[in-house]
Amino acid sequence: MRRRLDPGWRPKLVALDLDGTVVPYGPAGTRPSLAVAAAVGRVIDAGVPVVVATGRAVPDAVDTAVALGIRGVELVCTNGAVVYDATEARITHRVTVDIAPAAAALAARIPEAVFAAERDPHGFVTTDGFHREFTVGREEVVDLATLVSEPVVRLVCVAPGWDAVAMGAVAAEVLDPAQYSWDLGYSAWLDVQAPGVSKATGTAMVCEDLGVDPADVLAIGDGTNDIELFKWAGWAVAMGQALEVVQDAADEVTDPVELDGCATALGRWFP
């Protein structure tokens, strides 16, 4: 996707992915670099809302939003399944799904798979052996039957020893798009959610509340879970290390996260 940008266009809202965009992947990826924090600060100082649009659950999203100085704007979490008002510490939108059929289908094809279910904004339940790279508040180890016993906002499936390509092939085969939407992380990490849920749907709700048109939104991200957001936003910027399919979905490509590409992209309008 390569649209022509009106020379006079300026974003009225900025939607930012976190991991791989604002911060690098990994356990240390909570605080942004000084350059990125300063760039986001200039956006905020210009009176333009900055919306976090992330696959993270609420606790992790809040930590980085605070580090960026974002206040008074709802956070789009869990790939759009949760919209959270950090000021009032409450969920304003939540989409759940019955994950039992998905978990059964994935477990049948991937015997070594481990699972987690995001039930509320404060933590996950997981099967034994599930390891997270980020803290997420409360976690409880349960058996698979208990994990799938109620609708949740997200099922996570991790396949030790698998790569993302193999995991994606299984997901495409066994997950009915009428029942589920799904996204892959940078490894064999699979997020399964309700159909139609995406960062775009969550960000659209925030924009509606703020009176911002999608055509006036700048979106920056690096993952396949950003593609729907890129299609929806007025202008989309992919990070330099993003997969080719993600870069192809964007209007332009900036530097990689290690080189503060997010700051570079924002500097075009907020020097």
Domain boundaries, the chain: 13-94+197-267, 100-193
With cut-offs at 50, 70 and 90, classify the pLDDT of residue 95.
very high
- Fold assignment, 13-94+197-267: Rossmann fold (3.40.50)
According to the CATH classification, is domain 100-193 in 2.60.120.200?
no
pLDDT single digits (tens) 102-137: 999 999 999 999 999 998 766 789 998 887 655 455
pLDDT score, position 25: 84
With b meaning 16 or more CB within 10 Å and e meaning fewer, what string describes 18-56? bbbbbbebeeebbebbebbeebbbebbeeebbbbbbbbb
pLDDT score, position 132: 66
pTM comes to 0.92
Q: Radius of gyration over alpha carbons of the chain, in Å?
A: 18
pLDDT score, position 139: 75
Q: Which helix (H) or strand (E) holds 183?
A: strand 181-184
pLDDT score, position 221: 98
pLDDT score, position 137: 55
Give me the percent of the chain exceeding a pLDDT of 90. Answer: 80
**Is the sign of the CA dihedral 212, 121, 145, 159 positive or negative?**
positive
pLDDT score, position 27: 62
Q: How far apart are the first and last CA of the chain?
A: 26
pLDDT score, position 28: 58
- The candidate with the shortest Cα–Cα distance to 230, out of 222, 119, 45, is 222
pLDDT score, position 15: 99
User: Is 164 exposed, middle or buried, given 0-12, 13-18 or 19+ CB atoms closer than 10 A?
Assistant: middle
pLDDT single digits (tens) 27-82: 655 689 999 999 999 999 999 999 999 999 998 899 999 999 999 999 999 999 99
pLDDT score, position 143: 94
When the pLDDT of each residue in the chain is averaged and rounded to a whole number, the result is: 93
pLDDT score, position 34: 95
pLDDT score, position 229: 98
pLDDT single digits (tens) 229-246: 999 999 999 999 999 999
pLDDT single digits (tens) 175-197: 999 999 999 877 788 999 999 99
Q: How many angstroms separate the CA atoms of 185 and 17, rounded?
A: 13
With cut-offs at 50, 70 and 90, classify the pLDDT of residue 26.
confident
